[in-house]
């Protein structure tokens, strides 16, 4: 048994306190009117039944006590009901190659991607999420989980120094994504590949076709602008010291490879999105996920106390009405 408003029980304790005082005081008096004359006492004995008056007072006090108990919100017993949580398994593959430090998207490609993905994770409802980081190789950074706060913490720690092997291995990220799913089901598996699209292996489209056969839908998100940007090389203080150059000493301009990302999304039965300063946001991706068919990820029973104030309120009403209408005159002798 529990009480929703336990502080109301203080009124019940106050009532008990005054009842004790009243009983102790009543014992020291033998009449309803202890200071009255004998004539008045005789009349009162004819017109008032002391026993009935005492019972009436008891009924009213019990009614007030039950009313205070009802106002405290008593909760008795348990109510058990099944709850189903439905969602999809979402694997986010985030490119951490040095080209993601390009600043053609404010404040940088990687920062923009993390910002939008963080807002996307906050919008998830019942879906499981995993994070893969990839550059020249890929790693499962966070396994599938429904702990969105943990996912946000892991996401915030991602930077372009996580994987020393540079490059953009899209196919490696896809293989890691397919291995991230622990259950072999035909639907409800979604991969969100967030990258600037510089595929250094050239096998991503073929692998996306194979992924569809295993039930994995692949959505791609391009990060960057059409004009592209130089790739800053940042020192230990995270300030830009110079820009990346090729073997001939020429500055490298990183541009978004839109074509390959569209091809991957098409082969993977997914959609292509574009993160830059003026294009798609997390809301477009969240809407696409929301419209997908959901699976029951877990079913459990939720137990809670059942409110029972109605019974106490009804009893209080009955006692109070009984106490106020109860006659106090003595019964007429036949």
Same domain assignment for residues 204 and 280: yes
Same domain assignment for residues 189 and 293: yes
Predicted pLDDT of residue 253: 85
User: Do β-strands 89-95 and 232-234 pair in parallel, antiparallel, or remain unpaired?
Assistant: unpaired
CATH number of residue 117's parent domain: 3.40.50.410
Same domain assignment for residues 25 and 48: yes
| Prior bond of 21 cis (ω within 30°) | no
Same domain assignment for residues 91 and 14: no
Pick from 246, 271, 249: nearest CA to 261: 271
> What is the C-alpha to C-alpha distance for residues 227 and 242, in angstroms, rounded to an integer?
20
> What is the C-alpha to C-alpha distance for residues 227 and 209, in angstroms, rounded to an integer?
30
Predicted pLDDT of residue 226: 83
Same domain assignment for residues 38 and 96: no
Predicted pLDDT of residue 44: 64
Predicted pLDDT of residue 43: 64
> What is the C-alpha to C-alpha distance for residues 171 and 155, in angstroms, rounded to an integer?
21
- pTM (two decimals): 0.63
Same domain assignment for residues 257 and 293: yes
Does residue 99 fall inside a structural domain? yes
> What is the C-alpha to C-alpha distance for residues 259 and 196, in angstroms, rounded to an integer?
11
Predicted pLDDT of residue 244: 82
Predicted pLDDT of residue 86: 73
> For residue 312, which phi and psi values (nearest 5 degrees)?
-70, -40
User: Do β-strands 189-195 and 216-223 pair in parallel, antiparallel, or remain unpaired?
Assistant: parallel
Does residue 303 fall inside a structural domain? no
Does residue 334 fall inside a structural domain? no
Does residue 78 fall inside a structural domain? no
34 Cβ contact partners less than 8 Å away, ≥ 6 residues apart = none
Does residue 40 fall inside a structural domain? yes
Same domain assignment for residues 105 and 238: yes
Same domain assignment for residues 129 and 271: yes
Predicted pLDDT of residue 118: 94
Pick from 156, 149, 153, 177: nearest CA to 113: 156
DSSP H or E stretch at residue 51: helix 50-71
Predicted pLDDT of residue 85: 67
Same domain assignment for residues 92 and 236: yes
Per-residue pLDDT of the chain (334 residues; tens, 9 = 90+): 777 777 877 877 887 787 777 767 655 455 555 666 666 666 666 666 677 777 888 888 888 888 888 888 887 766 666 666 677 889 999 999 888 888 888 889 999 999 999 999 998 887 889 999 998 889 999 999 989 999 999 999 999 888 887 777 788 888 888 888 766 554 578 999 999 876 655 678 888 888 888 888 899 999 988 888 888 887 666 566 688 887 888 888 888 888 889 999 999 999 999 988 887 678 888 888 877 766 666 555 656 677 778 888 888 888 888 888 887 776 665 5
Same domain assignment for residues 259 and 121: yes
Predicted pLDDT of residue 185: 54
DSSP H or E stretch at residue 17: helix 9-27
What is the SS3 assignment for 141?
strand
Host domain of residue 107? 84-298
| Prior bond of 107 cis (ω within 30°) | yes
> What is the C-alpha to C-alpha distance for residues 274 and 244, in angstroms, rounded to an integer?
24
Pick from 66, 48, 142, 28: nearest CA to 315: 66
Spatial contact of 108 and 156, defined as CB atoms under 8 Å apart:
no
Does residue 331 fall inside a structural domain? no
Predicted pLDDT of residue 220: 94
Does residue 266 fall inside a structural domain? yes
Predicted pLDDT of residue 47: 66
Beta-bridge partners for 83:
300
Does residue 123 fall inside a structural domain? yes
Same domain assignment for residues 119 and 188: yes
Same domain assignment for residues 143 and 259: yes
What is the SS3 assignment for 75?
strand
Predicted pLDDT of residue 111: 93
Spatial contact of 271 and 218, defined as CB atoms under 8 Å apart:
no
- Look at the chain and report how many structural domains it folds into: 2
User: Chain-centre distance of CA 321, in angstroms?
Assistant: 47
> What is the C-alpha to C-alpha distance for residues 66 and 249, in angstroms, rounded to an integer?
88
């Amino acid at each position: 048994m529990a009480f929703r408003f336990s502080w109301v029980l203080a009124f019940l304790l106050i009532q008990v306190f005054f009842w004790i005082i009243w009983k102790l005081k009543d014992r020291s008096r033998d009449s309803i009117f202890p200071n009255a004359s004998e004539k008045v006492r005789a009349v009162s004995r004819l017109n008032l039944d002391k026993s009935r008056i005492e019972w009436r007072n008891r009924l009213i006090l019990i009614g007030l006590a039950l009313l205070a108990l009802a106002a405290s919100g008593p909760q008795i017993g348990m109510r058990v009901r099944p709850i189903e949580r439905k969602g999809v398994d979402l694997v986010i593959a985030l490119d951490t190659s040095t080209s993601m430090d390009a600043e053609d998207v404010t404040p940088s490609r990687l920062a923009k991607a993390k910002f939008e993905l963080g807002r996307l994770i906050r919008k998830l409802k019942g879906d499981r999420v995993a994070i893969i980081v990839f550059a020249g190789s890929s790693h499962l950074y966070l396994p599938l989980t429904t702990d969105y706060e943990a996912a946000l913490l892991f996401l915030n720690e991602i930077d372009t120094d996580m994987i020393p092997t540079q490059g953009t291995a899209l196919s490696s990220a896809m293989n890691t994504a397919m291995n991230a799913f622990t259950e072999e089901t035909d639907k409800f598996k979604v991969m969100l590949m967030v990258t600037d699209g510089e595929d250094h292996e050239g096998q991503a489209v073929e692998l996306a076709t194979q992924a569809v056969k295993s039930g994995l839908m692949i959505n791609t998100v391009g990060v960057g602008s059409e004009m592209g940007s130089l790739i800053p090389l940042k020192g230990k203080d995270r300030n830009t010291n110079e820009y990346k150059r090729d073997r001939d000493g020429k500055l490298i301009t990183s541009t978004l490879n839109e074509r390959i990302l569209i091809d991957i999304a098409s082969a993977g039965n997914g959609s292509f999105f574009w993160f830059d300063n003026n294009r798609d946001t997390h809301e477009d991706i969240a809407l696409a996920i929301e419209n997908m068919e959901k699976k029951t990820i877990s079913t459990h029973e939720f137990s809670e106390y059942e409110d029972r104030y109605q019974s106490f309120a009804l009893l209080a009403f009955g006692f109070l009405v009984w106490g106020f209408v109860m006659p106090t005159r003595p019964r007429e002798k036949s």
